[in-house]
Amino acid sequence: MANQGYVPLYEKFWLKRTIQRVVDTLILLLLFLFLIYRVSSINSFTFPWFLAFLCESWFTFTWIVILNTKWSPAVTKTHIDRLLQRVPELPRVDLFVTTADPILEPPIITMNTVLSLLALDYPSNKLACYVSDDGCSPHTYYALVEAFKFAKHWVAFCNKHNIQVRAPFRYFSDVAIAKSGDSLEFKQEWLQMKDMYDNLGRKIEEVSRKPIPFQLGGDLAIFSDAEQRNHPSIVKVISENKGDLSNELPHLIYISREKRPQYPHNYKAGAMNVLTRVSGLMSNAPFMLNVDCDMVVNNPKIVLHAMCILMDSKYGKEVAFVQCFQQFYDGIKDDPFGNQWVSSFEYIIRGMAGLQGPFYGGTNTFHRRNAIYGLYPDEIETGREGILADDILTQQFGSSNEFVKSAACALQGSRNYPEDISPSNFIEEAITVTNCAYEYGTYWGKEMGWLYGSISEDVPTGLNIQKKGWRSECCTPDPIAFTGCAPRGLLSTMVQQKRWGSGLTVVFFGKHSPILGILFGKIQFRAGLSYFWLTNWGLRGFFLVCYVAILAYCMITNISIFPKGLGLWIPITIFVIYNLHTLVEYLTIGLSVRHWWNNQRMCIMRTSTAWFIGFLSAMLKLSGISDTVFEITEKEPRTSNADGDNADSGRFTFDKSPVFVAGTTILLVHLTAMFIKFCGLQAAQNGNGCGLGEFICSTYLIVCYWPYLKGLFSRGKYGIPLSTICKSTLFALVFVHFCRSKVIN
């Protein structure tokens, strides 16, 4: 290859979005103008004025962060044909799936993910699939064994007929009846496959309905006294591709790491590190793909696409990971809960792709193994030399000699690793490296691997890698690479948002903050700044809630923080231009006006509730008062014919979560403020009575919170629970009382 000259396996194009930039700049200038106005027009210094100034400075800063991120969007184009021509031997890739709870994550979903991975269009002897089960569930194990039996037929079927969608439930729900143009043979096989798949589904379903499902004898005996949070390691090689044959299925391994109540297990990050070690022993592929249990492969050639980037002989060497977007197959029309992120992918993540690369999003990612092990990009040609002394490696990687040997190979470039290893030879060693105590005193989770300490482990893990100078790339082939379950309703969306709000705040204030990465690492300035878009979510919640409170305060006490007369036109213009601008952005990428509005109001709602609560819980964690927990998002399989509840699928549902207490309080406070204003109950004018500015803001807020208003008067799951209403009323009364007592004094 060396003497053939350089031919790029992938290309990168920067997009020009000039008009967008002009409007972005205009908004920025207006924001500055408003800040200047605010400072210059001060005649009496008041605390609300100061707070408003602080919040508005923050909003301006956020806008700068967004501009900076949006302004160099890039796309990549991969050339699979060149890869196949020029790379004589495709590299191995280890595939990781994590699952944690058989109730919230029904095994049939996980099995579809696994099946779609086993059916990848890539030499199967180069693949090994590892499933980590944090639920330690015999159901999941049983499902996996059964799914593997089915996989033999399924993969053959996919290959023979060149099926594109290789997650069976997606395939069978898309193609309802075999098309009439197809051959009789195909139709027969199609029906047979469908029958087999339905059978698999039934078996898994039947078993999962029983609490103690089946005789835990034989293979399953080991689960018999395992509790979810207290059990020994279980490692099972469900199947191995013994002859290293490209027409057999990939290796398939089940892992449930040891858990003991006295050891923190670090949630998903802990599971990922275990997967990394076990796979290091068993197959030690130079690249690893990690997906969540609900992210099925949608483009069977995705590994080839990603390899185009990672194997590119010039630019690929700087790339530590390749990130594919998280897209969803079951997103509700017009994104009522704002959890599909379509416009953020297009503008923000593509924007980051033009800087040092997208952040690591936790799933749909191809990693370079040695980058996970802490290698620097400049060591990639030569491999790490000199510091591979066994004792140092043992200290960093833990005490398993076998594993240390494999890690040394990986750090040197893994060229000299034996090809014909058999996973089942390493079961005992695998058990050792999955024990709770294995990581004690090592670098795992602290300096390398998936980092601990934040429940958004993905972002610091990615930052820690980019800090060493690595880049990352997006890979967005057509058809899209992976598709997953979007959180189905408002409840699971809020669980997820709260987790991110909290986890990201911890990252922002922690050791792996982008600021430190810029100052002391090799995060480029603009790339670091673009990370603020993400890591500031919690802080954004804090500032928005402050602003919302000031507005209510002004209405209640009859003072004004907005200028009057001509000066009021600045914020109004900002508001109008901003909304039109984002609307055009949405329409440009084919989204509807409804989608835009849903996202706008959801942005206000989640920032002032879920992110704010996340921020508070992060503060508690940072001050050592309480720890945060990874709450798993529920994944409901949506069957194609369950259309009965479609009309209601976008409706807001509520429960007793503090998120809804925050939201209801905000709504009640503003309703009261409006009431006070319109009934003339405000205090007498004391200088500058509250005016149009406050009124517009408050109205906008109430319009955004309309679903809550409806929730106040609805029943059942569509109504806000009484206890939440009581708590919120109490908070609202305290706030209003506080405001009014200020006036009297």
Q: Choose the one of ligand UPG, Mn ion, none that binds residue 414, judging by a C-beta under 5 to 8 angstroms depending on kind.
A: none
Class of residue 745 by CB neighbours under 10 A (exposed 0-12, middle 13-18, buried 19+): exposed
CB of 271 to Mn ion, least distance (A): 14
Applying CB under 6 A, the site for ligand UPG has a residue count of: 24
Provide the 8-state DSSP code for 39: H
Applying CB under 5 A, the site for Mn ion has a residue count of: 1
Q: 457 vs 694, which CB is nearer to ligand UPG? A: 457
Q: 107 vs 517, which CB is nearer to ligand UPG? A: 107
Q: Choose the one of ligand UPG, Mn ion, none that binds residue 105, judging by a C-beta under 5 to 8 angstroms depending on kind.
A: ligand UPG
Q: Choose the one of Mn ion, ligand UPG, none that binds residue 293, judging by a C-beta under 5 to 8 angstroms depending on kind.
A: ligand UPG
What single string gives the DSSP state of each residue in 300-353?
A: TTHHHHHHHHHT-SSSGGGEEEEE---EESSPPTT-TTS-S-HHHIIIIIHHHH
Q: Is residue 105 annotated as involved in ligand binding?
A: yes
Query: Binding to ligand UPG by residue 362, rule CB under 6 A?
Result: yes
Q: Look at the alpha carbons of 137, 138, 144, 150 in this order and tell me if their dihedral is positive or negative.
A: negative
Q: 556 vs 632, which CB is nearer to ligand UPG? A: 632
Return the residue of 146, 346, 458, 585 that touches ligand UPG, per CB under 6 A. Answer: 458
Q: 292 vs 429, which CB is nearer to Mn ion? A: 292
CB of 270 to ligand UPG, least distance (A): 7
For residue 472, the surrounding DSSP H or E stretch is: strand 471-474
Tell me which residue has its CB nearest to ligand UPG.
362
- Residues 631-655 as b/e (b if ≥16 CB within 10 A, e otherwise) read ebbbbbebeeeeeeeeeeebbbbbe
Under rule CB under 5 A, which residues in 287-346 are in contact with Mn ion? Answer: 292
Q: Is residue 419 annotated as involved in ligand binding?
A: no
Q: Choose the one of ligand UPG, Mn ion, none that binds residue 95, judging by a C-beta under 5 to 8 angstroms depending on kind.
A: none
Q: Choose the one of Mn ion, ligand UPG, none that binds residue 238, judging by a C-beta under 5 to 8 angstroms depending on kind.
A: none
Whole-angstrom distance, CA of residue 266 vs CA of residue 512: 17
For residue 496, the surrounding DSSP H or E stretch is: helix 490-509
- Is residue 421 a contact partner of residue 432, using CB atoms and an 8 Å limit? no
**Cis status, amide bond into 479, omega within 30 of 0:** yes
Q: Which is the catalytic residue, given 24, 94, 294, 458?
A: 458
| Per-residue binding letters, 637-676, with Mn ion (x by CB under 5 A) | ----------------------------------------
Whole-angstrom distance, CA of residue 600 vs CA of residue 696: 16
**Cβ neighbours of residue 27 under 8 Å, at least 6 residues apart?**
63, 574, 577, 578, 581
Query: Binding to ligand UPG by residue 605, rule CB under 6 A?
Result: no
Return the residue of 27, 52, 100, 222 that touches ligand UPG, per CB under 6 A. Answer: 100
Under rule CB under 6 A, which residues in 474-503 are in contact with ligand UPG? Answer: 496, 499-500, 503
Tell me which residue has its CB nearest to Mn ion.
292
Tell me which residue has tokens 């060229």: 415
Provide the 8-state DSSP code for 426: G
Query: Binding to ligand UPG by residue 134, rule CB under 6 A?
Result: yes
Whole-angstrom distance, CA of residue 153 vs CA of residue 119: 10
Q: 514 vs 693, which CB is nearer to ligand UPG? A: 514
- Is residue 66 a contact partner of residue 540, using CB atoms and an 8 Å limit? no
Query: Binding to ligand UPG by residue 299, rule CB under 6 A?
Result: no
Q: 318 vs 636, which CB is nearer to Mn ion? A: 636
Q: 142 vs 450, which CB is nearer to Mn ion? A: 450
Q: Choose the one of Mn ion, ligand UPG, none that binds residue 503, judging by a C-beta under 5 to 8 angstroms depending on kind.
A: ligand UPG
Distances (CA, A) of 538 to 505, 542, 639, 684: 5, 7, 35, 37
Return the residue of 128, 293, 613, 676 that touches ligand UPG, per CB under 6 A. Answer: 293
Q: Read off the tokens for 633.
A: 């998002």
Return the residue of 63, 71, 96, 267 that touches ligand UPG, per CB under 6 A. Answer: 267
Residue 458 annotated as catalytic: yes
Q: Which is the catalytic residue, given 24, 134, 294, 335?
A: 134
Q: Please give the order of strands across the beta sheet that includes 365-368.
A: 234-239, 251-256, 127-133, 93-99, 287-292, 365-368, 319-323, 471-474
Query: Binding to ligand UPG by residue 456, rule CB under 6 A?
Result: yes
| Per-residue binding letters, 317-336, with ligand UPG (x by CB under 6 A) | --------------------
Class of residue 276 by CB neighbours under 10 A (exposed 0-12, middle 13-18, buried 19+): buried
Query: Binding to ligand UPG by residue 98, rule CB under 6 A?
Result: yes
Query: Binding to Mn ion by residue 458, rule CB under 5 A?
Result: no
Q: 361 vs 383, which CB is nearer to ligand UPG? A: 361
Q: Read off the tokens for 480.
A: 């899209």
Whole-angstrom distance, CA of residue 299 vs CA of residue 159: 13
**Cβ neighbours of residue 138 under 8 Å, at least 6 residues apart?**
213, 214, 216, 220, 223
Alpha carbon 450 to chain centroid distance?
14
Whole-angstrom distance, CA of residue 287 vs CA of residue 439: 22
CB of 268 to ligand UPG, least distance (A): 4
Distances (CA, A) of 172 to 151, 165, 331, 478: 15, 9, 18, 21
Q: Which of 315, 312, 370, 322 is nearest to 87 (CA)?
A: 312
Kindly indicate which of the ranges 151-159, 226-234, 456-464, 621-629 contains the residues binding ligand UPG, using the contact rule CB under 6 A.
456-464
Residue ranges in contact with ligand UPG by CB under 6 A = 98-100, 105, 132, 134, 267-268, 271, 292-293, 362-363, 455-458, 496, 499-500, 503, 630, 632-633
Binding residues for UDP-alpha-D-glucose: 105, 134
Name the residues annotated as catalytic. Answer: 134, 458
Residues that bind Mn ion (CB under 5 A): 292
Binding positions are 105, 134, 268, 292
